[in-house]
Amino acid sequence: MRTAFAALAAMLAATTLASASARAEVVQQADNGFVVQASVTVATDPDATFAMLRTPAKWWDKDHTWTGNAENLYMDAQAGGCFCELIPNEATTEGGAPQRTLRGSVQHMQILYVDPGRLLRLSGALGPLQSEAVTGAMTLTLKPVKGGTRITLDYVVGGFMRMKTGDIAPAVDKVLAAQLSRLGMALGPLVGAGDTSETDGGAPSDNAAKDASDDGASEEPAAPGGVSALVTDLAPDDEVSSGEAASPAPKEKPAAKPAPKPAPKPVAADPGAPKRYKPGTRPLARPARAEDDEQEGR
């Protein structure tokens, strides 16, 4: 049973260390400088992350200090402030009591830019680079993610150095990755962390909801026979108050033309008598005269 619990504890510890391990790499390298980048995701919000970041005595590795004691580290997180280390004076007085009135100090880096909860930028040559004619710019960016904060470190070094960049760049990369991993352990690693920020993966913004309503995606169509349909029916054809196009009115059928009346038949009293017509039905053309009448009229 104890063996099973020990195996489980070792597995959980390995998972935690793997989650807290910072991803680091030398992203650029030349004869006169190099660029190192590392990142880790922690289970704290950006403000709490920044508060730990500005307290190096709680997470910086003592093996990478000048005194061998991380408690001597401090950071004045203001522009012009110092990421420094106190060097205690181990001298004693004549009576043998420790004399700590005089202390030395060493500057690791100087603070250039501070935006609490978002960004911290420092300038300086770390470790053995301090004795070379180089300068370094370190930028630590804090980005909120779902469940925590992603910390990204960029360290750019350039200038003249007596050592080969091919040798020093991987060493600096390894040291900074270890320091960032210790920071992740101090804050608590975020297991299964993603790279999506809260604004990218959270609920849709008010503008997005407004746009969806403007497009009509969330609106239900009006039921037939509703108030809008009644208003449409009551509105004139050329002015529909609802703003919808009215259906065209059915075209009226042309009136049927009356059938032409047959010409009235002449009424003759005697077959031999001249044809007479009813009043109002006399044809417009003059009837032909008899030859005798024509002769008499000549």
Tell me, yes or no, whether 38 lies in a domain: yes
Residue 230: what pLDDT?
38
CB atoms within 10 A of CB 228: 15
Task: Indicate whether 178 belongs to any domain.
Answer: yes
Q: How many CB atoms lie within 10 A of CB 75?
A: 20
The encoded tokens of residue 22 equal 């910072």
Residue 130 is encoded by which pair of tokens?
């301090």
CA distance 98 to 100: 6
Query: Could you list the residue range(s) of the whole structural domain that residue 117 is in?
Result: 22-61+74-82+109-192
- Looking at the domain assignment, is residue 100 inside a domain? no
What is the per-residue pLDDT for 191? 76
The number of beta carbons lying within 10 Å of the beta carbon of residue 296 is 9
Distance CA 78, CA 208 (A): 39
92-101 pLDDT, tens digit per residue, is: 667 666 665 5
Whats the size of the chain, residue-wise? Answer: 298
Residue 104, domain member (yes or no): no
pLDDT of residue 24: 73
pLDDT reported for residue 190: 84
Residue 55 lies in a domain: yes
Residues 6+ apart with CB under 8 A from 297: 289
| Assigned domain for 294 exists | no
Average pLDDT, the chain: 74
Q: How many domains does the chain have?
A: 1
Neighbouring CB atoms inside 10 A of 151's CB total 24
| CATH number of the domain encompassing residue 44 | 3.30.530.20
Task: Kindly write down the DSSP assignment for every residue of 181-214, as one continuous string.
Answer: HHHHHHH-B-TT--S-BHHHHSSPPHHHHHHHHH
60 close to 179: Cβ distance less than 8 angstroms: yes
Tell me the C-alpha distance between 295 and 286, whole Å: 18
Mean pLDDT, 10 residues at a time, the chain of 298 residues: 40 42 83 95 97 96 93 95 89 65 85 97 95 97 96 97 94 95 93 53 43 44 42 43 49 63 58 56 56 51
Question: Which pLDDT score is estimated for 254?
Answer: 62
From 64, 140, 154, 137, select the one nearest 106 (Cα to Cα).
64
Q: Over the range 236-255, which residues count as b (16 or more CB within 10 Å of their CB) and which as e? A: eeeebeeeeeeeeeeeeeee
Model-level pTM? 0.57
